[in-house]
Amino acid sequence: MLWPLMLFATLSACDAAGPGFRGGEAVTREVEGSRFTLRFRGPLAEAVRTSPEWLPAFDATARRAALAAQAERPGCRVAWVQGDPAMMLVGLACGERPAPAIPARSRVLLCELIDWRTIGDWTAGALDCARF
């Protein structure tokens, strides 16, 4: 019965801070029906979408996250948004200071388990992986 523990761990991490934003004060903002938990580190903001939405489009969600970050930091404008509909990094240009450079994206390796077989107590399969 491991699934209740996994479910609890998954749900408790819904708005957990990402790398570099731990320990920062969390601010909740709602924009056009999307709710975000925002954390700031200098001119960078992390926006974690905490509202349930069915298949959210990145462009619309990124626009709402940008509006939420700008509302929290008056005098700043959003220069870029990077990430996915669940968690985004927002680059802010405040006053005369330019926005930070867009961070390099790490390489992602996505794998799918195929050819799944169970024989007695043994389970085996093959992985099909692609680099993005």
**For the chain, what are the domain ranges?**
15-94
Map tokens 């960078």 to a residue.
44
Residue 20 DSSP code: T
Give CA–CA dist 30/68, Å, rounded.
7
Q: What is the pLDDT of residue 132?
A: 65
Q: Which residues of the chain have pLDDT under 70?
A: 1-14, 106-107, 132
Q: Which helix (H) or strand (E) holds 31?
A: strand 27-31
pLDDT digits (tens, 9 = 90+) for 38-68: 999 999 999 999 999 999 999 999 999 999 9
Q: What is residue 19's predicted lDDT score, i.e. its pLDDT?
A: 74
pTM: 0.70
- Cβ count near 47 (within 10 Å): 27
